[in-house]
Structure 1
Amino acid sequence: MSNSGTTLYLADLDRTCRFLRLPQIFSTCMSFSLVADMGIHRGYIGNWFMSIWCFCCAVTLIILTIELRRLPSEFPFFWYLSNTYACYSALLCLSASIIYSITYVQFLPYGPYQDRAIAATAFSCIASVFYATEVVKMWERSKIYKTSCYVLTMPGLLKVLETFMAGIIFAFISNTSLYLHQPALEWSVAVYSICFIPAALAILLNLGKWKCRLPGPFPLFQLVLSLLSVLLYISALVLWLLYQFNEEFGGHPQQSSDGDCRDELTYDMCTWDQRLAVAILTTINLLIYMTKLGYWACQVSVETKALPRVS
């Protein structure tokens, strides 16, 4: 795309996204403020998601300040970072709304604290909608002006989902008592790290336009990497399910069998719930990797068919 086309694209995108910044800031700020005002009643889960809402609010405010000073026109790479941030923010606020309501809000007694928690969840949902709207608008503008951004493509969005799910898994397994007692579970944790690193590097390579520096064709490289990731995640999921939920391997098949979950509500997820959350997230990420494997298999197949046949 020409320099004039790039300038028009950035100017149009600047006007489009700027109208979304204020409701994004307001929604995340309200979620943060409502939970912060709960004091000791917010618990570990409340502190965790309060930090997420605070982060999204602060970064969005910084982005808006940069846009108002018209610096993005001088640094087009800023928009790639902004696109990536919008994708992750939409997922962060959406996950915060879901996890916070499931693991915390419904267990609060009726009263002002539950009302504030429900309001915080509602504002988090609203914020996720505005961030998702920004992603859609950026995708529409990229089609109109025929510009490209990796995170707005199918493989880019899958990478974002992979790294995001892995990030949530890392948050749950920060409780080392879940796996340090069993080498098989330590392997599962190692798999999460092994698969996360190349996924994060792929996003950086594409954002920096460095994918041409990889050895061999890029689709073939991604196909092999996806296949390896699928196999690793299958092993991690099988071992996690066996050693966490099968009594023969020392697991706890039911929540009631876990002594840590017998206590009264302490505004935290008990150990069994954390094990279940990791299992669910691992399954979701495995499905994402399988989807990516199918995508790159199709791409390699198309490129192979396009090669000239030697008679």
Structure 2
Amino acid sequence: MSPASPLLPPAPTITTGGSEGTGCWPPSCRDREAGCHMGSTMEPPGGGYLHLGAVTSPVGTARVLQLAFGCTTFSLVAHRGGFGGAQGTFCMAAWGFCFALSGLVVTCEFTQLHSCLRLSWGNFTAAFAMLATLLSATAAVIYPLYYTRLECPPEPAGCTARDFRLAASVFAALLFLAYAVEVALTRARPGQVASYMATVSGLLKIVQAFVACIIFGALVHDSRYGRYAATQWCVAVYSLCFLATVAVVALSVMGHTGGLGCPFERLVVVYTFLAVLLYLSAAVTWPVFCFDPKYGEPQRPPDCQAGDCPWDSQLVVAIFTYVNLLLYVADLAYSQRIRFVPAL
């Protein structure tokens, strides 16, 4: 890869290679105890069993706040705030998922058991923090939009339910901020040796997959993509790029980027370039076959029912197609500046 321009700050150095978590204790064990393996009852070579920095460091404090805000949010909703329908179920599922994974991360960090897991812990925590940020942000918008009102709902819910919903909305916003702070604290800095998923390129992979999920949700909601072969091609583009992005994330998290038979950085750049071309074709094809008068409707039909209109789904797909195209272009530009080194 070409070196970075002298006018730009140095790019992060990304470690690649085998799994980071093949030992049973911190790096001292991996360096000195060749017999350490998963499930071993071997004593640690030195230091305590518990790592207090997992909860007292800035990142640890952010994770503790995530647990507190997450538990408070879904407790308020489940107790008296109430939820229903697909929107409420999504919010509760998002908060529950983030709380469970945050609890696992804090537990593994505090007990140092993450070194027993056969995965790249740095990549895993960076990827999860970004995903949790997106999920909590979405839930923090959806729940107040559908369930929170200033006026009191009818009895038996009454003003108590309104107060609980307002409080849940506030804590949902605080939960999003806690995850965003973790992403900001753990993001790779220029010149820093870091895991791939902690870089801008790695974080963008999570956002690209998340946006693709929004596209898929709109496609299955009566978007009528099966009418033309051209719109079916667009669906194939979304699916192919999504699967490739998930594969890159999975390989990074599992720590298997060094055994591909080809440099990981070259594969990432080539795939991102192909994804830009594929999304560019979809960004041209989808609007033509959905909104051109020859094939579709240039304007929303007047008899289209709100919330159940194929034209609305087609518009959502078009908008997020352009969003993902911009994300892949930014990813490609940033990938040119990343310098990879083998893991030691």
Residues 55 and 64 in structure 2, CA contact (< 8 A), matched pair in contact too: no
Compare the two structures and name the one with the higher helix fraction: 1
2:69 aligned to which of 20, 23, 27: 27
CA distance in 2, matches of 1:204, 1:186: 27
Q: In the alignment, what sits opposite 1:88?
A: 131
What root-mean-square deviation, in Å, do the aligned CA atoms of Structure 1 and Structure 2 show? 3.6
- Report which stretch shifted further, 277-286 or 188-197: 277-286
Shift of 1:129: 0.9
Q: In the alignment, what sits opposite 2:172?
A: 124
Higher Cα Rg, which structure: 2
The gaps in structure 2 that reach 5 residues or longer are 1-14, 16-25, 31-45, 154-160, 340-344
Q: In the alignment, what sits opposite 1:296?
A: 335
State whether structure 2 residue 140 is matched by structure 1 residue 97: yes
Shift of 1:297: 4.4
- Report which stretch shifted further, 85-94 or 277-286: 277-286
1:198 aligned to which of 244, 249, 262: 244
1:242 aligned to which of 288, 295, 305: 288
CA distance in 2, matches of 1:244, 1:114: 41
Corresponding residue SS for 1:58: helix
2:216 aligned to which of 170, 176, 188: 170
Corresponding residue SS for 1:224: helix
Shift of 1:246: 3.3
Query: Following superposition of structure 1 onto structure 2, how do residues 198-217 of structure 1 map, counting pairs within 5 Å?
Result: 198-217=244-263
TM-score normalised by structure 1 residue count: 0.75
The gaps in structure 1 that reach 5 residues or longer are 262-267, 301-311
How has the CA–CA distance of structure 1 residues 69 and 212 changed in structure 2, closer, same or farther, with 3 Å as cutoff? Answer: closer
Q: Deviations over 1:39-73 (max 9, x none)?
A: 5x633222222211121122223333434444235
State whether structure 2 residue 152 is matched by structure 1 residue 111: yes
Q: Percent identity?
A: 31
Residues 72 and 79 in structure 1, CA contact (< 8 A), matched pair in contact too: no
Residues 55 and 110 in structure 2, CA contact (< 8 A), matched pair in contact too: no
Q: Deviations over 1:235-261 (max 9, x none)?
A: 22223223333343123522x535222
Structure 1 runs, 4 residues or longer, greater than 6 Å off: 5-8
- Report which stretch shifted further, 69-78 or 125-134: 69-78
Q: In the alignment, what sits opposite 1:227?
A: 273
TM-score normalised by structure 2 residue count: 0.69
How has the CA–CA distance of structure 1 residues 156 and 117 changed in structure 2, closer, same or farther, with 3 Å as cutoff? Answer: same
Corresponding residue SS for 1:173: helix
Q: In the alignment, what sits opposite 1:305?
A: none
Matching residue's letter, 1:188: C
1:62 aligned to which of 100, 104, 109: 104
How has the CA–CA distance of structure 1 residues 3 and 217 changed in structure 2, closer, same or farther, with 3 Å as cutoff? Answer: closer
- Report which stretch shifted further, 15-24 or 189-198: 15-24
